[in-house]
Chain A
Amino acid sequence: EVKLVESGGTLVQRGGSLRLSCAASGFTLSDYWMKWVRQAPGKGLEWVADIQEEGSQKYYVDSVKGRFTISRDNTRNSLYLQMNSLRVEDTAVYYCARGGLPRCFDLWGQGTMVTVSS
Chain B
Amino acid sequence: QSALTQPPSASGSPGQSVTISCTGTSSDVGGYNYVSWYQQRPGKAPRLMIYEVNKRPSGVPDRFSGSKSGNTASLTVSGLQAEDEADYHCSSYADGNNYYVFGSGTKVTVL
The reply to whether B38 and A105 form a contact with Cβ atoms under 8 Å apart is yes
Dominant secondary structure at the A interface: loop
| B101 nearest CB neighbor, chain A only | A47
B10 to nearest A CB, angstroms?
A: 15
Supposing A44-B89, A59-B98, A101-B51 touch, asked if A108 and B57 sit within 8 A by C-beta, the answer is no
Q: Indicate which residue in B55, B93, B99, B104 contacts A44 across the interface (CB closer than 8 Å).
A: B104
Contact A103 B36 (CB under 8 A): yes
**Chain B interface size range:** 20 to 34
Does B91 lie within 8 Å of A45, measured CB to CB? Answer: yes
Q: CA–CA, A107 to B47, complex, Å?
A: 7
| A80 at the B interface (CB under 8 A) | no
Q: Most A CB atoms within 10 A — which of B93, B100, B102?
A: B100
Q: Which residues of B contact A44 (CB under 8 A)?
A: 3, 89, 102-105
Q: Provide 6 A-B residue pairs closer than 8 Å at the C-beta atoms, listed in order of the A residue.
A: A37-B46, A37-B102, A47-B101, A103-B34, A104-B52, A104-B91
Q: List residues of chain B with CB within 8 A of the CB of A46.
A: 102
For A103, the chain B residues whose CB sits under 8 A away are 32, 34, 36, 51-52, 93, 100
B110 within 8 A of A: no
A90: chain B residues at CB < 8 Å are none
Q: Is the CB of A105 within 8 A of B98?
A: no
Which residues of chain A (38-57) have a CB below 8 Å from chain B?
Answer: 43-47, 50, 57
Determine whether A102 belongs to the interface, using a CB cutoff of 8 Å to chain B.
yes
Q: What residue in chain A is nearest B45 (Cβ atoms)?
A: A108
Q: Does A95 contact B (CB under 8 A)?
A: yes
A82 at the interface (CB under 8 A from B): no
Q: Which residues in window 18-34 of A have CB below 8 A to B?
A: none
> A102 near B52 (CB under 8 angstroms)?
yes
Q: How far is the CB of A42 from chain B (nearest CB, A)?
A: 10
Q: How far is the CB of B50 from chain A (nearest CB, A)?
A: 9
